[in-house]
Amino acid sequence: MNIEGQQILFSEEVIAAKIKELAEQIKKDYANEDVILVCVLNGAFMFFTDLVKCIGPSENVYVDFIMCSSYSGAESEGSVKFLKDMKLNPKDKNLLLVEDIVDTGHTMSTLMSLFKVRHAKSVKLISLFDKPERRLVDIHPDYVGFKVDKNAFIVGYGLDYNEKYRNLPYVTCLNPDKL
């Protein structure tokens, strides 16, 4: 399944290999500590699921979910709307926010500040995709899968355009005519 001849930027195999590499680093970094992996819904759901599976069984890994939005179509609105909060208490816990893509940085900056106010022991960020050239706030993911061109609007593997294309098993750049 391909979007009308669009070039695949990141195949299933390339994504899987990168996630395995990231999971190995996370296992090392949190080897002797509890950590709550927090999936930032909706976009990160595929990345999160595969990352958790690659980390494997562990008594010190917990999972939770948060949902917020700062996008309408292809543009960031700048403000962050909270739609679902975590169930677990972040106080005195290590949190690893699992995000699909960091673009302007507004959402992640807001979330990281929120969890610091809630007295998390540590708050780190992993993003499968990163667009550092589009950053409007000073935020830097602790773990990054792939850097993406600032002008590319990517979809697939959880990333969407108006809730479409999330189910693609690969990542492609959406043609500007579709926006």
pLDDT confidence bin for 82, thresholds 50/70/90 = confident
Distances (CA, A) of 92 to 40, 61, 89, 106, 122: 20, 15, 9, 24, 8
d(CA 165, CA 74): 13
The arithmetic mean of pLDDT across residues 12-27, rounded, is 98
* Residue 56, pLDDT score: 93
Average pLDDT, the chain: 90
Tens-place pLDDT, residues 91-133: 999 999 999 999 999 989 999 999 999 999 999 999 999 999 9
pLDDT confidence bin for 174, thresholds 50/70/90 = confident
The residue among 127, 82, 77, 85 whose CA lies nearest residue 106 is 77
The arithmetic mean of pLDDT across residues 135-150, rounded, is 95
* Residue 77, pLDDT score: 58
Q: Is residue 103 annotated as a catalytic residue, yes or no?
A: yes
* 50, 100, 103, 130: the active-site residue: 103
Tens-place pLDDT, residues 30-78: 999 999 999 999 999 999 999 999 999 988 999 999 998 765 555 655 6
* Residue 74, pLDDT score: 53
pLDDT confidence bin for 167, thresholds 50/70/90 = very high
Q: How many CB atoms lie within 10 A of CB 55?
A: 20
* Residue 1, pLDDT score: 43
pLDDT confidence bin for 139, thresholds 50/70/90 = very high
Q: How many CB atoms lie within 10 A of CB 26?
A: 22
**Model pTM?**
0.91
DSSP symbols for the chain: --STTPPEEE-HHHHHHHHHHHHHHHHHHTTTS-EEEEEEETTTHHHHHHHHHHH---TTEEEEEEEEEEEETTEEEEEEEEEE--SS--BT-EEEEEEEEESSSHHHHHHHHHHHHTTBSEEEEEEEEE-GGG--S----SEEEEE--TT--EEBTTB-BTTBSTT-SSEEEPPGGG-
* Residue 143, pLDDT score: 98
